[in-house]
Structure 1
Amino acid sequence: MAWPKAGTVSVVNGSAIVTGTGTSFFGSAQAGWGFVGPDGRVYEVLAVSSGTLLTITPVYQGATAAGQIYALFPTMSLAHDVVASVQALTGTFQAVADGPGQGKFSTDVVKLGDEDTGLGWPSSNEVALKAGGDWQLRLKEGVASGAAVQAHWLDAAIGKLLTAGAFGWGHDAANGSANSAAGTELSAITVTGLYRYASTHTDAPSTAGVVMHLNRIPSSAAGGMVQIAFGNNGEMWIRVQDGAGPVSFEAWRRMDPDRGSGPNGEYVRFPDGTQICTHTVAPSTTTADSTWDFPAAFTTATGLVVVGGGRTNSDATFVSARPPTTLNVAFNHWNTSGARVAGAVSLIAIGRFE
């Protein structure tokens, strides 16, 4: 580039001030450049104050003069200043280059304009999501926690992430912890869920098993509850609490048919209270009534029906039965001639067990 030398300058012996006329010092020269004075000496430019004023060092050595020619020229100080600036800039941003520049962060990563929301590392080997200044989801060693996760296994807040064992899965109904579902009775459960129970529970329906507890109004025992129990022996039971008066359940009712047998035959009991007993037997006598003791007692003789029929085709026979009691019935086996016979008969009794 051409050396700036437009216009003229005025200098004063012993002064560091150079005053220009028609010059454009500002923008065409800078500190560190060389100034060739009217006396032919070379001076260093200390500062450029304006288009017509600059400061030199050492002070002007020649005679005082006005309207003199001059010249300005660049030196290697500019390159030095650039290098120094680059070094300073590099030093300032070295941490950025070594950290975020390589995908490494020492602080939380937040959203511009919403600095309380972002990604962070609350502790060693832990990563978390923050929103509104709270850790919403924290992940460490395969375990999730945070405001968006259940506080405990019975936390029923809507929208929470469920934890292992949530709402009874894998828990005993008599857990006894601070957030336990129950104490010693299944009726103490108030949170909808699926719980294990043992035969030691004072109100267990049968052998150990699993009970499903349902609140008809969420999180409110007063709104009525339903419990369905699945026993390890294959039995199914149900009971309800209607929410009226004290919180108490009705008696357990079987949902699956209850079957049994013995020397007096077989029986089956249905959830609606119906009981059917069957037996194949030969009369104990041919001179008087025989008696069939039911394999399971009925609760009432009202509506109890007993019928039977012969077991052979050699002769037309029929069975007659007297009005039964809840425990047994008297019967006879007849042929068409009106005589009692000893052939085996099939008997069936239908009534109620509750």
Structure 2
Amino acid sequence: MLLQSGINIPPLPDGLTVQVFLAGTSTLASVTDKTGAAITQPFAVSGGRYEFDSGAQPVDIKLGGEEVSPDDVWNGGDPLWIYSTGGGSPYDFALGSASGAVVGAGESLDSKDFCSLFQANDAGPTDWNTSFGTYPMGVNFFRSSSVRAQLAMGYGGHLAYRVTSGAGVFSGWRRVYDRENILGIVAQSSGVPSGAIIERGSNSNGEYVKFADGTLICTGSVISVAGANTDNSLAKSPSGVTWTFPISFIDLPTLSFFIDKISTAETGVFPIGVARLTGGTVSVSSATTIYVWYNKPGSVVQSQIALTAIGRWF
């Protein structure tokens, strides 16, 4: 098991001492370098990092703490323990599979009072939102009882995080969005978005786009009625048509129309616009009495009307 500091921001200071102990004990572990040569402890950070191989031994790592000059500069002379098996003070960081890193059945995620990785043996532990998946695993960050944060992902679900307020009370879990879950089924609970950011769909009545903020846009087309237009006062298509929205709104939407394709059966007769007649209805699911208007009476064929409705789905 090769362990190394990697790239630290800021880098570890050269000369900082490193000691490796058998996990949970004060016994120094036998460690080697990457060539297999034994390393004499304590050893020092070089080039801003350290590395060693502890084999199959679970170990605890101690950085500094001897109150020599490099340690004073880096962490005030106090040692920093990096635990591989859990336990220690609230500022220690627990890794691995010790009891401190496992959330058992009925245990609350709020009970994690030190920095640690964690994994849940319970499909839905207390204080976890199962809409983000089951058996959460993640990281608990602990500065104090008032300053905490958790980042976790659920099996078959999503990555989410939560943070505490100044009073130490956790917020609700917040989903982390990426290219895999931006598009999907939008949803909400008590006015708070809980699904994807954008949802797109279509059916025989047209297409729709739903947004997480509640905005709903429907588009579609209908064909006007053909026949003789003999109404000299209005010069409109023989009768109106109805557009059923591809998905219903929560309240009345705003409508717009335009002629998408034009065709006439009589020379000099052409459509000039489209509108609804007074007395028709607009509901959350449809709009009626949509007419095409012509420059003068005459024999007209079908014209395609493009329509847009904008409103809200919650």
TM-score (norm 2): 0.49
Which structure has the higher relative contact order (CA within 8 Å, separation 6+)?
Answer: 2
TM-score (norm 1): 0.44
Please say which structure displays the higher CA radius of gyration: 1
